Structure formats: structure tokens, C-alpha cells
A and B are shown apart, each in its own frame.
Chain A
Amino acid sequence: MTPTGAAGAGIALLASRIRGEEKRIMAAFERRGVPASQVDPRRLRFALDAGGASRQPWSVVLNREISASRARHAARTLESTATLVLNSAAAIELCCDKWLTSLALRRDGVPTPRTALALTPEAALSELDGFGYPAVIKPLTASWGRRVSLVREADAARAVLEHCAALPSPQSHLIYLQEYIDKPGRDIRVVVIGDRPVAAAYRIAQDWRCNVALGAQSRPCPLTPDLTKLATAAARAAGTDFAGVDIIEDRDGSMLVLEVNHNVEFTGIQGAHDRIDIAGELVEHVLARAAAAG
């Protein structure tokens, strides 16, 4: 299989949008004297060779593509040719689906808020009768807190679910329900690289959602032993090489994992930590994985 639209060799950064994170990563490669190609997946295509022979221009691909479909299919295809892809296709597929993430967290005993999946909006409304209010209705796949709804009673839930039912994608009709946690105006983002949390930040918000994209402010958060253990367990359950683990605190101080992000944006958390080079840590991990893979 030969990809077309690629240039360079060795290590590639796969990304169609070069944000601050990707610029920092490329700069970290350059500071180490490691050549890395910037590859735009919008120009990539793959052809199956008749004889099954495969030839790859890269041995390692750092997958920072924001389109879930492109990221997943590029990873699957490249992995089929023995290219090391970080994060792996399996990790991307799991992290892109909140329910699959919940199943993996539950399997590994990682604490989460009470969660349910309903396969239709109607079933979700029935489930909420027993689940109780307030509750949070989420799409299985969503970014930046979009279409995440806090519902405090059945009439509001019915309205949200009617909108879900009207959406054209069948996946939008799968409803992920989660217990609303009365958190102290913040959540915690932990960046985990390999098996090691490298930085954590409180995301402080006026909104009940604490996404930086919605205006939350990042402040340094100490990596306590409990936080380290929890974030590590979540990343391990998801099988990621690098992840942003979102953690919420209950009023009694217990911590619960909300989700694991495979394409972690770390500009906010980097801004809260001037002594930690997150991109540099990521590049060191990529180089170590590449060396281990031979």
C-alpha cells in the first residue's frame, strides 16, 4: 500500500489544522535536531497494491488530525503497514465514543459518574424516569462541550431529546446520559503522556461546563498522588500514548473521570505551567516509542 500526497521520511506529524499545539510539537522536534514532516491528511490517499507489497515513507506517525474519521482511517491504514501510529487507531476509536470510553473505564474500575446509554431518544426519556434529575445528556461524540445539555426536569429532557430525534445522523439518536455532579465551579484536565501525568490544570468556569473553548480559565493544579493514580488509570484504560483526562470533583472531594481525549489541546494547560514543556515531553515519548519499536 502506498500513500500518495506524502513527502519526507522518518517521523510525520499528521494534522490538517496547525494550532498552537502542533507548532510547539514541530518546534520541539526541531530543537532536538529530529527531522519531522508535516503531513496534511486532506491530501492523503492510499492505494492497495496488487501484490500486497507495502512501502511507507514514515516509520512513526504522530496523529494530531482533528477529523475523527480521517484520524481513524489514516491510523488503521498506516498500522496495517507496520507504521507506528500514536495515538493508535484503537485508542482513537475508543476515545471518540463516550460510551466505549465508559465501558473501558468501568472494566478497569476507574470511578466515573453514574452513566447510561439509550439506543433511542424515547428510551432515554424512559431511562431518565429511573435515572433521576438533574442529568446531563451528551452526544456520543462531541467537541468543546457542544450539544451537552443539563436537564433539571422531564419537560426539558423531552425537548432536548426531540431535537436529538430530529437530527439526521443515526448516531445522534444514541443518547448518553450521565449523572450531574454538583462540582465546585471547576473541573481538572490532566495531560498524560505514556504512563505519566505531566501537568494538570483546574478549568474554572462560570458556565456549568468547564471547556476552555467555552471560556473556562486554566489555573495550575497540583498533581497529587490520588490525581496521578486516577489519571494514569484512565489513560491506561483508553490505551492512549497521550491523552487529556477530564476529572470532576464531587462536593465530598471524591474524584470521577468524565472522559479521555485522544487529541488533547494543551495550550490552556501549558499557559498555566511555565516550568513544564508539554510538547517536549510528548516528543520525547514519541522518540522513545520509536526507538523501542526499532
Chain B
Amino acid sequence: MTTTCPECETPITIEAPEGLRLSELLECADCRCELEVIALEPLALAVAPDPEEDWGE
């Protein structure tokens, strides 16, 4: 399955789309942008929001 990075439009190939989950984080190999899976069918990615606050990890 192939889609594009919403930040830099580089094609992104998902090797195992059956294992994807909503809200899963991916990284664009080209621009290194952190992406979030916002829909599975059809697959849609968005730039992941930054963590809004520290949580102590």
C-alpha cells in the first residue's frame, strides 16, 4: 500500500497495512516528519500533533 507524506509529498509504502492501527505513529523516511494514521480505509496520514505536555516519562 502506498500513500504520500502530507508534509513533503514523498511516497510512503506501507509493507504490512493489515497491522496498522488508528493513531499509530509513522515517520516519513524523507523529511522525518512524525505522521499519525487518521483513517485506515482508505489510509490517510496527517502530521502528528506534538505531545501537548510533558508527562514524566
Contacts and interface: CB of A to CB of B under 8 A. Distances in A.
A61 to B, nearest CB: 16
A293 B43 CA distance: 39
A18 B56 contact: no
Given A16-B23, A17-B48, A40-B23, A261 B53 contact: no
Given A66-B51, A67-B51, A143-B51, A17 B57 contact: no
A68 B55 contact: yes
B41 interface: no
A259 B52 CA distance: 21
Interface of A is mostly: loop
Nearest to B55: A68
Contacts of B48: 17
B22 A68 contact: no
A213 to B, nearest CB: 8
A264 B57 contact: yes
A68 B56 contact: yes
B56 A38 contact: no
A144 interface: yes
B23 A67 contact: no
B22 A38 contact: yes
Nearest to A69: B53
Interface in A9-58: 15-19, 22-23, 26, 38, 40
A96 B26 CA distance: 27
A142 B51 CA distance: 12
Contacts of B9: none
A18 B25 contact: yes
Interface string B16-41: 00010111110000000000110000
Contacts of A73: none
B40 to A, nearest CB: 12
A210 interface: no
Interface of A: 15-19, 22-23, 26, 38, 40, 66-69, 71, 95-98, 139, 141-144, 146, 244, 259, 261-265
26 contacts: A15-B23, A16-B23, A17-B23, A17-B51, A18-B21, A18-B24, A22-B21, A26-B21, A38-B21, A67-B52, A67-B55, A68-B56, A96-B55, A96-B56, A139-B54, A141-B54, A143-B55, A143-B56, A146-B54, A261-B56, A261-B57, A262-B56, A263-B56, A263-B57, A264-B57, A265-B57
Given A17-B48, A96-B56, A139-B54, 6 more contacts: A23-B19, A23-B24, A67-B53, A68-B53, A144-B57, A262-B55
